[in-house]
């Protein structure tokens, strides 16, 4: 059963990934067709064709390896200008000339005026931004579904005890299990139980956990009188709180010695609306942008892991192979309900779409952001020429940047292979 659940989780992830890729490409296809660009091919995946069908002038299909996709827009590269023709002198010129010839082979009689490079600047931007923006919209929709239907686990506003600590561990050592040498927590020693409702602390009536926490902290290492409600009855307990290092309430990066009892509030599941989703989306975008900036450093750590020089960083990047393994673990873990697992898979796909959307906006060819940068540059040149009364400088020749695109593409390929290898030999595990 566990194996079947694991396979089911991986397959569900693959389907979600393929759908995300397909919708990304539709984000390019729809505006391109709207603006009259000829689109001969639309495929999800790479490698051998599994299925395809001709609808109008476009062939729609699925290929065997669901690790990407593409939409062929005719006329991505403009013809060489008379003032700067392609010459087959040097490998760079040869690459540019060959790529331009391949592009020209796609242009048939009657395609004039339907070429991508002939679009205005704003139409180019809309067409190329359509893919990554679609990924960002998918991410937002998935986050909204997660927060709206599943929600977040948050401390209850009531004073009901959700858990009682078995021992007293300083906050600076949080996360570890109790040791035999650790002192028993005051709450455990005094007989507090999960489900007890705190009524008063040292004679002060408490209605919320926020009201209770400062009272416990201010008690230091003295004995306290605590009234609780248990199973419909009221009883008084007399714990002696201990002084322990805890995060400062005003600055959680600092630690202070305060009174410690060893009780935590009951946690409840809270759903949220679109306002909360929008706020969290901003947080996630910021975190993902920082992760992109730190990618070279993280990849250096991944390379060291591949060589056996350091353990795998659980917070580091992973390939789609690693993400698929995580999806399988989520589905097959004995912990949590079916809704918990589904919610975790939704978050995984949402995070993947968010990262893909931001990654494709990086202004480097062959990414969508590279084509957008070229369109913006072209628009600025033309606008400046009009302002100073000079002739239209014409289209920006992005073909001249193909050597850069090949280098960037090769770097992405090496990065992908490295991540896949490490995800196989030293995978990130949930356990």
First to last CA, the chain: 19
* Token couple for 303: 């390379």
Q: Is 25 a catalytic residue?
A: yes
Report yes or no: 117 and 10 within 8 Å, Cβ to Cβ: no
The neighbour count for residue 310, using CB atoms within 10 Å, is 13
At 236, give phi and psi (nearest 5°). Answer: -110, 130
Yes or no: say if 27 and 360 are a contact pair by the CB < 8 Å rule. no
**Contact predicate 59/41, CB 8 Å:** yes
Rounded distance between C-alpha atoms, residue 404 and residue 92, angstroms: 10
Q: Which of 25, 103, 329, 378 is catalytic?
A: 25
CB 125 within 8 A of CB 372: yes
Token pair of 96 as six digits: 């540019």
**Residues 6 or more apart from 244 whose CB is under 8 A from it?**
168, 170, 171, 257, 258, 259, 260
Burial profile 193-216: b = 16 or more Cβ within 10 angstroms, e = fewer: eeebebbbbeeeebeebeebbebb
Interacting residues of 358 by C-beta distance below 8 A, sequence separation 6+: 132, 136, 285, 288, 289, 292
Of the candidates 299, 321, 269, 25, which has an alpha carbon nearest to the alpha carbon of residue 151?
269
Contacts of 277 (CB under 8 A, 6+ apart): 140, 143, 144, 147, 148
Residues annotated as catalytic are 25
């Amino acid at each position: 059963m566990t194996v079947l659940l694991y396979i089911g989780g991986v397959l569900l992830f693959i389907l979600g990934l393929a759908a995300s890729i397909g919708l990304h490409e539709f984000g390019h296809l729809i505006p391109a067709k709207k603006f009259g660009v000829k689109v001969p091919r639309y495929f999800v995946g790479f490698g051998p064709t599994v299925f395809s069908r001709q609808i109008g002038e476009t062939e729609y299909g699925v290929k065997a390896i669901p690790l990407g996709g593409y939409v062929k827009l005719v006329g991505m590269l403009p013809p060489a200008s008379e003032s700067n023709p392609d010459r087959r002198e040097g490998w760079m010129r040869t690459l540019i000339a060959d790529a331009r010839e391949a592009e020209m082979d796609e242009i048939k009689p009657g395609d004039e005026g339907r070429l991508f490079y002939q679009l205005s600047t704003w139409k180019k931007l809309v067409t190329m931004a359509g893919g990554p923006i679609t990924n960002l919209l998918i991410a937002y929709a998935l986050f909204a579904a997660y927060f709206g239907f599943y929600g977040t686990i948050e401390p209850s506003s009531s004073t009901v005890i959700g858990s009682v600590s078995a021992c007293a561990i300083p906050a600076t050592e949080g996360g570890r299990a109790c040791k035999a040498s650790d002192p028993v927590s005051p709450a455990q020693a005094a007989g507090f139980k999960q489900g007890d409702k705190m009524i008063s602390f040292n004679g002060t009536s408490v209605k919320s956990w926020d009201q209770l926490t400062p009272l416990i902290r201010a008690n230091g290492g003295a004995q306290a009188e605590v009234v609780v409600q248990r199973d419909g009855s009221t009883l008084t307990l007399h714990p002696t709180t201990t002084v322990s290092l805890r995060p400062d309430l005003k600055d959680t990066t600092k630690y202070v010695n305060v009174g410690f009892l060893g009780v935590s509030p009951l946690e409840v599941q809270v759903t949220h609306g679109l306002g909360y989703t929008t706020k969290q989306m901003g947080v996630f975008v910021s975190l993902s942008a920082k992760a992109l900036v730190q990618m070279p450093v993280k990849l250096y750590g991944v390379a060291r892991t591949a060589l056996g020089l350091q353990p795998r960083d659980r917070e580091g990047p992973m390939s789609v192979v690693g993400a698929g393994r995580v999806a399988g673990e989520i589905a097959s873990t004995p912990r949590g309900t079916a809704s918990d697992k589904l919610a975790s898979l939704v978050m995984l796909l949402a995070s993947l779409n968010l990262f893909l959307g931001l990654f494709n906006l990086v202004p480097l060819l062959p990414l969508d952001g590279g084509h957008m940068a070229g369109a913006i540059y072209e628009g600025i040149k033309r606008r400046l020429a009009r302002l100073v009364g000079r002739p239209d400088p014409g289209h920006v020749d992005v073909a001249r940047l193909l050597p850069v695109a090949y280098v960037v593409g090769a770097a992405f390929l090496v990065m992908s292979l490295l991540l896949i290898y490490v995800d196989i030999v030293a995978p990130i595990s949930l356990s």
